Amino acid sequence: MSNIRPDILFPLFAGLESLDGIGPKTAKAFAGLSVERPRDLLFTLPHSVIDRRLRTSMNGALAGDVVTVCAQVLRHQKPSRKGLPHRVMMEDEGESFQLVFFRGAPKWIEAQLPVGEKRIVSGKVELWDGYYQMPHPDHIVSVDQVEEFPDFEPVYPLTHGVSQKLMRKACLSALAKLPNLQEWIDPSQLQKKKWPSFERALDLGHHPKASDALEQEDPAKERLSYDELFAHQLTLALARSKLRSTKGRENYFTGQLQQKALKALPYAPTAAQRRSIDEILADLKAPERMNRLLMGDVGSGKTLVAFIALLAAVEAGGQGVIMAPTEILARQHLEGLQALAAEVGVVIEVITGRDKGKKRREKLEALKNGDIGILIGTHAVFQADVEYKDLRLAIIDEQHRFGVSQRLALSQKGRGVDVLVMTATPIPRSLSLAQYGDMDVSILDEKPAGRIPIKTALSSTERLDEVVEHLKTAVASGKQAYWVCPLVEESEVVDMISAQERFKVLRARLGAEHIGLVHGQMPAEEKDQTMADFASGKISVLVATTVVEVGVNVPNASIMIIERAENFGLAQLHQLRGRVGRGEVASTCLLIYNPPLSETGRRRLDIMRETEDGFRISEEDLSMRGAGDVVGTAQSGLPRFRVADIERQSALMAIAQSDARKLLHDDPELKSERGKAARLLLWLMGKDESIRLISVG
């Protein structure tokens, strides 16, 4: 099957100048709407409609209403001096009113509205001195033209240089170029949802028949949303099947090491941990390569799940590796797992950029010989001179911190390496489907038993002195605290300045020996040293910008103070709060805000007080800020949909994913009639890379 765009779609991918009324200059203006070709206009639907249905009379209309009436022209009142408007007295079946023109040639106005004749006029109504008037009507047409007058007029998004009239003309011209396409949706799905055909859905989208035709649940609009989501999920499913077609390895293990480790634990794993372990072990046994995301809230026990998976790889005769984003996190993983590894007799080691000379050579030799079963480290674990005897499983912690090329480099350190990526940032279901649709997802949505809830309180900046006094007392009693400084703006330098100022104030109040400072502008070694001093209890208060690492584990730290908390996103506040509550002591998170709070700021802080559930928090964050902000627009990897709304259509996204995977399972090369139609959809949606995946797949 050719990987060149089919001829049938060429008109939709031509230049915009091929459309009625668009020249080179106007075509450039459309770039403000991210419209480059006719195809883009098909999916640029109206965002609202104006009700232009004909009324018998203006009577009863409210100021600001758009009204359409048939009325007789009584007389013209021309301006007596410059600056006054031209008024036209009109009368419909029950009301007299005026049309008002502040600009426009009198001859043109008189030609449009001859005295004694009837005209249909439509526009926004105002009340002036108790009388109705309509300044500059949107439409003036003769009675015999009523048929071409739409009951509901679509209103499109605009940009500089593109008017409603031009936009409407261009969209209709693009619609006229639409060829007759075969159906790519499963017939039973189409029937169940009562969706129109693709062509009919586009036609209804651009010719709304009612105000609610713009709702996401409208059958035509829902169908077009599904088409976008289905094309995206088909692309992800193709990438997934491509990865799975690269041969994995079946790992054979009895489970003895895992059982031994689980018995040595002082607590029982949660149901979510057991479920995730079962899913991962099933993947390791399968002949396809694992490509799984383990998503768990702060403190949900991802490390244990990862360790059990690593033991399976070791028991199968291979090795496992965990790649962490920073040295401090790598060493923390080692400390957390060392005792358990010793209990089951598996050698675990750490390698970072700091390992030099003889020490490094000895570790690399032991790894190459297979004497090290589990390796933990930073990106050092995939450098050229790092050789494994038989790497079976690569685990990537906080995967958003690593690029695809780094993940790939690690997975190529062995034959058919299984890959598990972990994140402590709960992502709303719709976003995880959009972003990680090519992966299988395991979710840890329970906290291990015995974790003491964190008390979250609010305090205003006016009480800052009291906060510092309480902190002084807490430090004197041996407690440790984080003090996170305001997110001044998206600038590491400006945020650093705010941290330095707070550091000076606290040092003066609490004593220099008790305080440490970390920010993103510090050299890595200095930052790591300060973090290590805090972890060991050498310093009591750590003043920091948001650089405080995800996953840093200081069980004795029981106080988290976040200054100007209203400036932070919900997910960020939740991550920061998760730095405390890791030990035996009851912990507190104090959110300091600057009054007065905006409605959004208040809602955000109230949600933090109400819940510690990261998944609920991520959904609230999504509804308040939008997808791009939650994931971080620059590196979000989120597709840009023109019709679909991933914030509100997660259920539709899940259906699209299921349908895409089923289609590829039944027809891997998309050669059936429906498969060929799905290829056309991929071309139409600009998913050229997906077509090439089929071609080489």
Q: pLDDT tens, 87-108?
A: 999 999 989 999 999 887 888 9
**Local structure of 68: helix, strand or coil:** strand
DSSP state of 162: B
Indicate if the pLDDT at residue 9 is higher than 80: yes
What is the pLDDT confidence band of residue 415, given thresholds at 50, 70 and 90?
confident
* pLDDT for the residue 445: 83
Q: Tell me, letter by letter, the H, E, C secondary structure of 256-290.
A: HHHHHHHHHCCCCCCHHHHHHHHHHHHHHHCCECC
Percentage of the chain with pLDDT > 70? 90
Under the banding of pLDDT at 50, 70 and 90, the label for residue 267 is confident
CA-CA distance, 271 to 289, in Å (whole number)? Answer: 25
> Which of 126-130, 310-314, 612-616 has maximum average pLDDT?
310-314
- Decide if 184 contacts 56 (C-beta within 8 A): no
3 state SS for 202-261: HHHHHCCCCHHHHCCCCHHHHHHHHHHHHHHHHHHHHHHHHHHHCECCCCCCCCHHHHHH
List the domain boundaries for the chain: 53-149, 455-611
The answer, yes or no, to whether residue 196 has pLDDT greater than 90, is yes
pLDDT value of position 285: 94
pLDDT tens-digit map of 573-592: 988 898 888 878 889 999 99
Determine the pLDDT at residue 316.
94
CATH number attached to the domain at 53-149: 2.40.50.140
Band of pLDDT at residue 248, cut at 50, 70 and 90: confident
pTM of the model: 0.70
Length in residues, the chain: 697
Q: Is the pLDDT of residue 305 over 90?
A: yes
- From first CA to last CA, the distance across the chain in angstroms is 12
Cβ atoms of residues 89 and 193 within 8 Å: no
Question: Which residues, other chains included, contact 381 with Cβ-Cβ below 8 Å and sequence gap of 6+?
Answer: 321, 323, 351, 375, 410
Query: Which amino acid, one-letter code, is at 292?
Result: R
At residue 457, φ and ψ (nearest 5 deg) are -130, 160
User: Which carries the bigger pLDDT value, residue 497 or residue 646?
Assistant: 646
pLDDT band at 222 (very low <50, low <70, confident <90, very high): very high
Residue 237 confidence class, pLDDT cut points 50, 70, 90: confident
Average pLDDT over all residues of the chain? 86
pLDDT at 600: 85
Query: Would you tell me the crossing angle of helices 688-696 and 219-245 to the nearest 10 degrees?
Result: 40
CA-closest candidate to residue 143, choices 54, 49, 52: 54
Pairing of strands 588-593, 455-460: parallel
Contact (CB, 8 A) for 429 and 618: no
Q: Which residues contact 539 (CB under 8 A, 6 or more apart)?
A: 513, 514, 515, 516, 530, 533
Helix axes 327-344, 302-315, angle to 10 degrees: 60
CATH number of 455-611: 3.40.50.300
- The whole-angstrom separation of Cα 387 and Cα 390 is 9
What is the DSSP secondary structure assignment for residue 368, as one 8-state letter?
H
pLDDT per position as a tens digit, 49-62: 999 999 999 998 99
Burial 249-259 (b: 16+ CB within 10 A, else e): bebebeeebbe
Kindly tell me if the per-residue pLDDT of 109 is higher than 80: yes
Q: pLDDT tens digits for 525-567?
A: 888 888 889 988 999 999 988 766 555 678 889 999 999 898 8
Give the count of beta carbons closer than 10 Å to the beta carbon of residue 625.
16
CA-to-CA distance for 382 and 138, rounded, in angstroms?
A: 66
- Sign of the alpha-carbon dihedral angle for 244, 248, 254, 256: negative
The fraction of the chain above a pLDDT of 90, given in percent, is: 48
Phi, psi angle pair for 175, to nearest 5°:
-60, -35
Is residue 430 within 8 A of residue 646, CB to CB? The reply is: yes
Model confidence at 1, pLDDT cuts 50, 70, 90, reads very low
Return the closest-CA partner of residue 617 out of 579, 658, 569.
569
Mean per-residue pLDDT for 250-279?
Answer: 92
Q: What is the pLDDT of residue 272?
A: 93
For 199-209, write each residue's pLDDT tens digit.
Answer: 999 999 999 88
